[in-house]
Amino acid sequence: MLPPELVDTIVEKIGGMSDLKSCSLAASVFRYACQKRLLATLSLGGPDMYARAKGYDEAAARFEATPSLALLVVNLNIWLSTKPIAAPVVNALFSALVRVSSCTISGQGNTYGRPFKWKAITNGLSLAVSHWLSAVPDGTMRYFHVSNLANVPQRFLHDIFRVLGPRCFLSFTMMSVDQARSVVSPPHTPPPFHFLFSGHTNVHQLLTTPDSGFVQYSQSIRKLTALVNFDTELDAALLICAAATHSLEHLQLTLSAQRLRQRDTINEDAIPRLFSLRLLEVVCTGFDNQLEHDHSFSWFLSQVLAPMLRPGATPCLAQIQLTLAVDTLEQAVNVYVPSIRGLRKAHLLLHHLDKLLAGHNILLRFMFRTGHLQAGAAEHLEAIFNALKEKLPSQARKNLLKVVAEPS
């Protein structure tokens, strides 16, 4: 008998689904390990273009025949549709899915970019999903995402924040919420949670409107991830920050490599005081383009970072992290070191950043996320560090400059 660790290692090396199915039938010793991979992700009710999506009836019948298989599903994609589905079928199906750690709920829109209206969803399906979410066992769900849905009832959103918010990372895109108050939620203080904000939703209006009944949730956001490719997205993210002024500890802003649609200036009062903020993370896609063309980085430094560093605005801020994605560290050396040392625009940007941090004891960390760490990683990181310390002398002298890497 092969040790389980060796079996798992062998199965991890198998590529396609057809090969996994063949392996599971080849020998009983491989069956469970292959089933874990084959059934880890389940897509329910997907459009015809999604060949691997299962019908609700098909999935319910399979799990009724072999209940243990439902325990292997950890990633669940739910496509809500208008197709009639028997309530007992969906209730039995969802009651079997008790180990799901990542869930995405989407509407089947007929037109790309046009969200699917909640009222069009089969009533039995929407009720079954709502009941299932309210009964998710503690400690299982880690990520929950809603997309392509219009006029989502506030009751459903309350359930998401109240039940799932304290447990997992919440994310909404291409979603709007019905403005009619369908429920009055009793005031309470939710536990801290992680929230991802995208501009393609009106959830932020509920989270920042005092009489909406949702401000209690924004006041418990510990980590906020925001995509700020447009100034309107930044405005909305700052409103959420203002509502979370005493709870927000980690703010992650993602700047696109494209030119940010921006105003010349932002009113300093629009940058809220964040009394608990400890980590400001800026995820820069295409940072090499920023160093060469400065699409938005100098604007971000002067209009966002500088006000955040004004006296009393972020008294607990201890670290600023620039997160950069690269294929390999060798590639990072070949791209960034010549740019840092040779481009005048890069020199001006880094000098500006160094000057902003000169009067503060804040660690500046460059985090390179790469597919995998190869041999020579330490030498590559040292080469990048040596280039950066020439342009960030104040941070280097204070020993507040670090260059690190981790697998993406």
* Band (262; pLDDT cuts 50, 70, 90): low
Residues 83 and 26 in one domain: no
Tokens 């209009």, located at residue: 303
- What total number of domains does the chain contain? 2
Q: Which residues contact 43 (CB under 8 A, 6 or more apart)?
A: 50, 52, 53, 54, 77, 79
Please compute the mean of the pLDDT values over residues 97-104 and round it to a whole number: 92
Residues 55 and 108 in one domain: yes
Q: Which of 72-86, 92-106, 275-289 has the lowest mean pLDDT?
A: 72-86
pLDDT at 315: 96
User: Is position 356 within any domain?
Assistant: no
Write phi, then psi, for 23 (nearest 5 degrees): -65, -40
Residues 86 and 177 in one domain: yes
Residues 69 and 178 in one domain: yes
Residues 66 and 97 in one domain: yes
User: Is position 171 within any domain?
Assistant: yes
Residues 87 and 163 in one domain: yes
Please compute the mean of the pLDDT values over residues 271-277 and round it to a whole number: 94
Residues 159 and 133 in one domain: yes
pLDDT at 181: 64
Please compute the mean of the pLDDT values over residues 158-181 and round it to a whole number: 82
Q: Which of 20-34, 62-76, 376-390 has the lowest mean pLDDT?
A: 20-34
Please compute the mean of the pLDDT values over residues 167-183 and round it to a whole number: 78
Given a cut of 80, whether residue 3 has pLDDT beyond it is no
C-beta separation of 193 from 201 below 8 A: no
pTM for this predicted structure: 0.84
C-beta separation of 190 from 166 below 8 A: yes
- Over residues 182-217, the pLDDT tens digits come to 555 666 677 888 998 876 778 888 888 888 888 889
Residues 18 and 73 in one domain: no
Q: Considering the chain, what percentage of its residues have pLDDT values greater than 90?
A: 39
Residues 29 and 138 in one domain: no
C-beta separation of 283 from 254 below 8 A: yes
User: Is position 294 within any domain?
Assistant: no
* Band (49; pLDDT cuts 50, 70, 90): very low
Q: Report the chain's terminal Cα–Cα distance, integer Å.
A: 35
- Over residues 300-359, the pLDDT tens digits come to 898 889 999 999 999 999 999 999 999 899 999 999 999 999 999 999 999 999 999 999
Residues 151 and 45 in one domain: yes
User: Is position 388 within any domain?
Assistant: no
C-beta separation of 244 from 215 below 8 A: no
Residue 24 structure tokens: 């599971």
Residues 77 and 145 in one domain: yes
How far apart are the C-alpha atoms of 136 and 127, rounded to whole Å? 14
CATH code of the domain containing 70 = 3.80.10
Range of the domain at 117: 40-182+191-203
C-beta separation of 176 from 151 below 8 A: yes
Q: Which of 16-25, 151-160, 215-224, 339-348 has the lowest mean pLDDT?
A: 16-25
Q: Which residues contact 177 (CB under 8 A, 6 or more apart)?
A: 151, 152, 153, 154, 157, 201, 202, 203, 206
Please compute the mean of the pLDDT values over residues 48-62 and round it to a whole number: 76
* Band (135; pLDDT cuts 50, 70, 90): confident
User: Is position 237 within any domain?
Assistant: no
Higher pLDDT, 222 or 185: 222
HSE toward the beta carbon, residue 112, CA cutoff 13 A:
0
User: Is position 149 within any domain?
Assistant: yes
User: Is position 47 within any domain?
Assistant: yes
Higher pLDDT, 120 or 209: 209
pLDDT at 273: 94
User: Is position 317 within any domain?
Assistant: no
Residues 30 and 166 in one domain: no
Nearest one of 5, 46, 2, 37 to 18, comparing CA atoms: 37
* Band (402; pLDDT cuts 50, 70, 90): very high
